[in-house]
């Protein structure tokens, strides 16, 4: 019985969404994430920051990595508050190591990591067989 309850609680607090490699994917995934956060009754002060992090991580995966990409949201209550983890896993780098990003407009790109650093309590990258996961934790106290 306890195992079933734990499974139900975990399912209620985790959402996985494929990120299609098509135009309009970022806004579609952002809308889906907003609906999930509303269903979970995530604190309103955390929602806008979370959606910005979702947008940045999904955009990064679409622009700089190979498909497929997947968004995973996890809402975990804790002793000192609740943590929303935003993860985007992709199939790895599209450019070879040391590859050039010639033609990239610095006014249009390159601020995502700074934005995530400013909004997230912690963030990082995990490299694993078959891909890369970029994650950010946002904590509401």
Q: Residue 81: enclosing H or E segment and its boundaries?
A: strand 81-90
Instruction: Name the stretches of the chain with pLDDT < 50.
Output: 5, 7-11, 97-101, 104, 106
Going by C-beta distance under 8 Å and a sequence separation of 6 or more, which residues neighbour residue 99?
93
Q: How far apart are CA 130 and CA 92, in angstroms?
A: 7
pLDDT of residue 109: 56
Q: What is the pLDDT of residue 111?
A: 76
- What is the per-residue pLDDT for 95? 53
| Whether 49 contacts 15, CB under 8 Å | no
Architecture in CATH of 10-92+109-140: 2-Layer Sandwich (3.30)
Q: What is the pLDDT of residue 11?
A: 46
> At a CB cut-off of 8 Å and minimum separation 6, what does 22 contact?
none
pLDDT at 61: 95
* DSSP assignment of 35-57: HHHHHTT--HHHHHHHHHHHHHH
**Residue ranges per domain, the chain?**
10-92+109-140
């Amino acid at each position: 019985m306890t195992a079933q309850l734990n499974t139900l609680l975990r399912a209620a607090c985790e959402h996985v969404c494929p990120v299609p490699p098509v135009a309009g994917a970022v806004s579609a995934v952002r809308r889906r994430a907003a609906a999930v956060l509303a269903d979970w009754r995530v604190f309103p002060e955390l929602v806008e920051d979370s959606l910005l992090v979702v947008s940045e991580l999904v955009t990064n995966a679409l622009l700089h990595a190979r498909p497929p990409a997947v968004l995973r949201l996890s809402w975990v209550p804790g002793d000192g508050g609740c943590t929303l983890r935003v993860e985007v896993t992709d199939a790895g780098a599209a450019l070879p190591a040391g590859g050039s990003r010639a033609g990239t407009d610095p006014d249009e790109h390159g601020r995502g990591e700074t934005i995530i650093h400013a909004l997230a309590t912690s963030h990082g990258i995990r490299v694993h067989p078959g891909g890369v996961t970029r994650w950010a934790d946002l904590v509401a106290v």
